[in-house]
Chains A and B, each alone.
Chain A
């Protein structure tokens, strides 16, 4: 949405419209690629969001009303698939692309062309998945988890889903390798590993997870395709295949995946809280240690998604799952200690970061219930889980992403977002979010299974579903406010100073937006807050003169 608004004048003296477009299409500049990532991700968020609104309309009343059961199954599947693989993960990568090189004082990513390739694979993969809608039999309709053997009954749409995710997987893998090499090899002088911004640590941990987990998923997808089209029997029970093998493969990837979807948001929040509290991040090393522990432990918990299959070592997996919530809990205390005795400025980035803490906490607590297998037997595959997913991914990651947009938008485009609209956006989103997703906890304990296109009127679920539908439209309103805020910013002249927030990290030491080569002068790095050091030094100089 932003690109079309950038005036040619903003790029270079008077290039024609065509060469301007060509420049964006062929760019290998990490900042432009980062912006392309963000635009692409929000486009898919829009599609996934429209699917969500349709689902909510359908569920507002008992019985089948608006759409066919088959269409419902397609859109809940593509809602989940797009949100996870084409919105949340790429949007975080977009921030990573733009800001990791800036934050470590590098000129670009280690492999700029591979970087462009990983971006362009994304729309290709996403459109491949969506193209299922125009095939006979429709798009994939088996959930984002695509359990076999029911998914083997799918048609071409199912193959397009598989193919699309293979493409997206390659994109994520290339991106991850690029990040790892960039972070390990391209840091500015003085930027030791224990001075890199916490967001960079989060991207590094995410990338390690991706490199280890995605190949497993890729092989799973290949086996899936072979079973579906080539008659192999990895999973197909009709010929002795093992249906639970798919679940093991999927979740061996899938659980690390959920951390890939949240780590960078933790990073964003851990950047913002110190800036708007006027204090350093409390326990930087503790946070890094927590990130790394979570990265390692996330490979030991996958079967907690399979408690009800009857084929899981329950005590082991519930123990590992409860263990992984310990480092996650530590993060909360570090965040609280960061704002404690600070001097808090409630600018929009800070509001969303605080909203993140308040909402992600609920998602985390929900997880403790489902971690206990006996309780999970009651809660799994109900709306409780839908609630949990959204408290983590929307209340968590999405609030973190929006916080990141308000925080970094001035740096990316040289324009401030409107503060008042930002505050409105925050409150409407917070209320809408809770109205949509809190009732789902109650629906879950009252026995409403997830993934049902309609329900009987005698179950007592109608009122709570109606609340949820009303909430979903409030979320839509909040997104319109957001969009308006962004579009309006491009109608104003550039007004952002280099460092509007009084921040700490290197990206604020260059102009807004940064030049192609990122830095005219790279300040010395003597702590994890080089820009603050610079500011204090300048103030001291002024004081003494």
Chain B
């Protein structure tokens, strides 16, 4: 085999496998994958990623190819004389300054186009939600519908949703890779981004700016719903929460749950240090979408929150197993 054919073979094998590694493999199973866009906003990013990818691959093979070729061709062998002492070549040097400049211009122009189209507010009167970052969970407000939930965002599929993001404490970053790029949540400042999912489904996300002890435990879920499910969910959320029975209320009052949590329509429960517990039973996960919402996990949680989620701002309230059972029965029924 000549050097050239060997190189071509290597290149031919490497290229598709690289592309495969990046995009292929387990396509739909990875729900937090950037290169598996599920809506127009992430697709805009994706459609810029690939041209840059191919330019990069070309540059990579050009430079590494030249390198490997030179190493082989010009390796030390007996009998070769002293190499010619070339100190430089102005024309060549100018050429290889201009070529990358042109390539980069080729990247810059579509980039700037994409920046502007990503930052535009969607036309008409889109659904608006506000996401407030807390250490280490997401408060999700629907100002048009006047309710608040946490860690799980429901949106109608096929429609753009304009998200305002801000933070109550430290900097977090809102990121649902299959729907959009990142946007930081900063105290004293409101940023915006648009998310949209083509099809109904669950899209995973995660806080992307280091925000302290439980940064790894600050995840979120976006549920894109078809029209009928979306309407049903709205109806659920808009209906008043069941009043806690006296047994539950007395535990909650004794333990001061109301000092941190809100339950709509219940006197003394209007704080936002912790997630809004109205319709808690509706959520599939809790505590920054870290735990599945089931009796076992909730029991562990209420026993000692910082024990299962380091740093969590809900203290160990020394609840007895009976009290925990009573509370869970209420929380889970609170659909």
CB pair B186 A445 closer than 8 Å: no
Tell me the bound Cα distance from A441 to B45 in angstroms: 17
CB pair B74 A341 closer than 8 Å: yes
Tell me the bound Cα distance from A308 to B21 in angstroms: 27
Contacts of A333 in B (CB 8 A): 92-93, 96
* The residue from B60, B71, B184 contacting A365, defined by CB atoms under 8 A apart: B60
Contacts of B187 in A (CB 8 A): 149, 237-238, 243
Name A153's closest neighbour in chain B (CB-CB).
Answer: B212
Contacts of B60 in A (CB 8 A): 361-362, 365
The answer to the question of A336 belonging to the interface, with a C-beta cut-off of 8 Å to chain B, is: yes
CB pair B49 A378 closer than 8 Å: yes
Near B by CB (< 8 A), chain A positions 265-318 give: 277-280, 282-286, 308-311, 314-315, 318
The answer to the question of B326 belonging to the interface, with a C-beta cut-off of 8 Å to chain A, is: no
* The residue from A278, A325, A342, A381 contacting B208, defined by CB atoms under 8 A apart: A381
CB pair B76 A283 closer than 8 Å: no
The answer to the question of B248 belonging to the interface, with a C-beta cut-off of 8 Å to chain A, is: no
Q: Measured between C-beta atoms, what is the minimum distance from B252 to chain A in Å?
A: 29
Tell me the bound Cα distance from A454 to B216 in angstroms: 6
CB pair B169 A149 closer than 8 Å: yes
The answer to the question of B271 belonging to the interface, with a C-beta cut-off of 8 Å to chain A, is: no
Name B33's closest neighbour in chain A (CB-CB).
Answer: A446
Contacts of A374 in B (CB 8 A): 44-45, 48, 111, 114-115, 118, 181
Tell me the bound Cα distance from A344 to B74 in angstroms: 6
Q: Measured between C-beta atoms, what is the minimum distance from A174 to chain B in Å?
A: 32
The answer to the question of A147 belonging to the interface, with a C-beta cut-off of 8 Å to chain B, is: yes
Contacts of B247 in A (CB 8 A): none
The answer to the question of B206 belonging to the interface, with a C-beta cut-off of 8 Å to chain A, is: yes
Tell me the bound Cα distance from A472 to B137 in angstroms: 33
The answer to the question of A345 belonging to the interface, with a C-beta cut-off of 8 Å to chain B, is: yes
The answer to the question of A332 belonging to the interface, with a C-beta cut-off of 8 Å to chain B, is: yes
The contact size tier of chain A is 35 or more
Name A373's closest neighbour in chain B (CB-CB).
Answer: B115
Known: A354-B71, A453-B216. A308 touches B49 (CB 8 A): no
CB pair A377 B59 closer than 8 Å: no
The answer to the question of A526 belonging to the interface, with a C-beta cut-off of 8 Å to chain B, is: no
Contacts of A282 in B (CB 8 A): 86-89
Tell me the bound Cα distance from A369 to B171 in angstroms: 24
Tell me the bound Cα distance from A59 to B71 in angstroms: 37
Q: Measured between C-beta atoms, what is the minimum distance from B196 to chain A in Å?
A: 15
Tell me the bound Cα distance from A468 to B30 in angstroms: 19
Contacts of B84 in A (CB 8 A): 279, 341
Tell me the bound Cα distance from A336 to B69 in angstroms: 10
Contacts of B67 in A (CB 8 A): 336, 339, 354, 357-358
The contact size tier of chain B is 35 or more
Contacts of A449 in B (CB 8 A): 175, 206-208
Contacts of B44 in A (CB 8 A): 374
Name B206's closest neighbour in chain A (CB-CB).
Answer: A449
* The residue from A149, A150, A340 contacting B70, defined by CB atoms under 8 A apart: A340
The answer to the question of B75 belonging to the interface, with a C-beta cut-off of 8 Å to chain A, is: yes
The answer to the question of A65 belonging to the interface, with a C-beta cut-off of 8 Å to chain B, is: no
Q: Measured between C-beta atoms, what is the minimum distance from B65 to chain A in Å?
A: 10
Count A-B pairs with CB separation below 8 Å: 259
Tell me the bound Cα distance from A224 to B118 in angstroms: 34
- Which of B22, B55, B96, B192 has the largest count of A CB atoms less than 10 A from its CB? B96
CB pair A345 B76 closer than 8 Å: yes
Contacts of A73 in B (CB 8 A): 212-213, 215
Contacts of B96 in A (CB 8 A): 329-330, 333
CB pair A322 B107 closer than 8 Å: yes
Tell me the bound Cα distance from A365 to B184 in angstroms: 25
Chain B, residues 43-85, CB within 8 Å of chain A (1/0): the string is 0110011001101100110011011001100111000101111
- Which of A147, A240, A242, A322 has the largest count of B CB atoms less than 10 A from its CB? A322
CB pair A372 B184 closer than 8 Å: no
Contacts of B111 in A (CB 8 A): 318, 372-375
Chain A, residues 435-453, CB within 8 Å of chain B (1/0): the string is 0000000101111111111
CB pair B34 A447 closer than 8 Å: yes
CB pair A377 B181 closer than 8 Å: yes
CB pair A361 B45 closer than 8 Å: no
Contacts of A451 in B (CB 8 A): 210, 215
The answer to the question of A319 belonging to the interface, with a C-beta cut-off of 8 Å to chain B, is: yes
Contacts of A453 in B (CB 8 A): 215-216
CB pair A447 B104 closer than 8 Å: no
Tell me the bound Cα distance from A452 to B53 in angstroms: 27
CB pair B186 A459 closer than 8 Å: no
Chain A, residues 505-535, CB within 8 Å of chain B (1/0): the string is 0000000000000000000000000000000
Tell me the bound Cα distance from A22 to B184 in angstroms: 54
CB pair B64 A361 closer than 8 Å: yes
Known: A445-B33, A451-B210. A334 touches B171 (CB 8 A): no
The answer to the question of B35 belonging to the interface, with a C-beta cut-off of 8 Å to chain A, is: yes
Contacts of B266 in A (CB 8 A): none
CB pair A369 B211 closer than 8 Å: no
CB pair B93 A283 closer than 8 Å: yes
Tell me the bound Cα distance from A281 to B279 in angstroms: 71
The answer to the question of B29 belonging to the interface, with a C-beta cut-off of 8 Å to chain A, is: yes
Q: Can you list 17 pairs linking A and B with CB atoms under 8 Å apart?
A: A243-B186, A277-B83, A280-B85, A280-B87, A282-B88, A319-B108, A322-B108, A345-B76, A358-B67, A361-B64, A368-B55, A373-B115, A446-B32, A446-B34, A451-B210, A453-B215, A460-B29
Further 12 A-B residue pairs, CB within 8 A, beyond A343-B80, A369-B49, A451-B210? A149-B169, A150-B210, A308-B181, A308-B209, A318-B111, A336-B66, A368-B104, A369-B53, A374-B45, A447-B32, A455-B216, A456-B219
Q: Taking beta carbons and an 8 Å cutoff, which residues of A are in contact with B?
A: 68-70, 73, 141-143, 147, 149-150, 153, 237-238, 240, 242-244, 277-280, 282-286, 308-311, 314-315, 318-319, 322-323, 325-327, 329-330, 332-334, 336-337, 339-346, 354, 357-358, 361-362, 365, 368-369, 372-382, 442, 444-456, 459-460
